[in-house]
Amino acid sequence: MRKIEHIGIAVQDLEESNALFAKLLGKKHFKTEKVEGEAVETSFFQVGETKVELLQATNPNSAIAKYLEKKKPGVHHIAFDVENIEAEVERLKGEGFEILNETPKQGADNKLVVFLHPRTTNGVLVELCQEISVNSK
């Protein structure tokens, strides 16, 4: 794990939360992006080396929608930047962590992502992110 790539925060209303976090952080989000595969719309704030990712569900089947059925808006996951996501998945499997999607999937902000089940990570939903480099497209 090279650094915390982002902190994912589940929100009910992206526009409202964008305005709140702009006040909190003293800067506006630098992008919004829909991720069809996760049925979310995201917005990103750069905070030093890491980011804050706000996530709003775009349909009721979204993991974010399901989360907000049971829990209040708040910190949803921690994402770590990794050099080689396949190698990291193998390493973590060997360490006994439960991988939710062994095959990396498309995330936001030009990343391939994998999630670990929170029941094997002390109750924290963990996301691994690998930058999709230009020559691997």
Name residues contacting ligand MC0, limited to 58-117 (CB under 6 A).
63-64, 66-67, 76-77, 79, 100, 107-108, 111, 113, 115, 117
- Cβ neighbours for 15, distance < 8 A, ≥ 6 positions apart: none
Q: Which of 57, 63, 68, 79 binds Co ion (CB under 5 A)?
A: 79
Q: Site size for Co ion, by CB under 5 A?
A: 4
What, of ligand MC0, Co ion, none, does residue 111 touch, CB below 5 to 8 Å by kind? ligand MC0
| Residue 85 near residue 100, CB atoms below 8 Å | no
125 binds Co ion (CB under 5 A): no
Alpha carbon 114 to chain centroid distance? 9
Q: Is residue 126 a contact residue for ligand MC0 (CB under 6 A)? A: no
SS3 26: coil
Of 48, 96, 123, 137, which one interacts with ligand MC0 (CB under 6 A)?
Answer: 123
| Least CB distance to ligand MC0 at residue 44 (A) | 9
84 vs 106, beta carbon nearer ligand MC0 = 106
Which residue type, as a one-letter code, is found at position 19?
A: A
CA–CA distance from 76 to each of 43, 66, 68, 87, 128 (Å)?
Answer: 14, 12, 10, 25, 14
Joined together, the tokens standing for residue 41 give 């719309």
By the rule CB under 6 A, 40 interacts with ligand MC0: yes
Secondary element (H or E) of residue 85: helix 85-94
